[in-house]
């Protein structure tokens, strides 16, 4: 059985829509997947519907950005209910805190400690996932 429990759609910093991501994993033989976009669960319903249609096992998830010990930490949560009371307020508070801490609504500043620690280049073309989580803290359209 092929399983992938950490995937991102274009609702955060991935390239494909949630449904297109499910179609891709199905075409590649993945039988169980989780969508774990950064700081949002806005793509979970679309991915879940596509997974059900294609017979792919699906676990709703999220990757929460936070800080600890002066470093950025990403915590993957699996089996999170996107309809749980207070879930929208929770993600809104994460985005508000990130915006206040970084001086912007983008999470680009989250990557600075990682780039410095590992001496990574700052170009967006070389390491796009480390320079920006383009979809973090925005609502799906």
- What pLDDT was estimated at residue 72? 85
CA distance 14 to 56: 19
- What pLDDT was estimated at residue 137? 55
- What pLDDT was estimated at residue 87? 85
Under-70 pLDDT residues of the chain: 95-141
Question: Judging by DSSP bridges, how do beta strands 30-35 and 57-68 pair with one another?
Answer: parallel
Asked whether the beta carbons of 47 and 34 are under 8 A apart, the reply is no
- What pLDDT was estimated at residue 79? 94
């Amino acid at each position: 059985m092929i399983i992938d429990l950490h995937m991102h759609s274009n609702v955060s910093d991935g390239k494909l829509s949630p449904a297109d991501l499910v179609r891709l994993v199905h075409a590649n033989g993945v039988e169980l997947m989780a969508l774990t976009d950064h700081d949002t669960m806005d793509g979970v319903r679309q991915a879940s519907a596509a997974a059900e249609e294609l017979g792919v096992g699906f676990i709703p998830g999220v990757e929460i950005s936070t800080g600890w010990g002066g470093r950025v930490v990403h915590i993957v949560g699996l089996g999170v209910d996107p309809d749980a009371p207070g879930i929208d307020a929770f993600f809104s508070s994460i985005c508000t805190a990130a915006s206040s801490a970084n001086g912007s609504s983008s999470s680009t500043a989250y990557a600075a400690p990682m780039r410095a620690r590992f001496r990574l280049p700052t170009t967006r073309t070389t390491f796009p996932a480390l320079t920006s989580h383009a979809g973090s803290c925005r609502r799906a359209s």
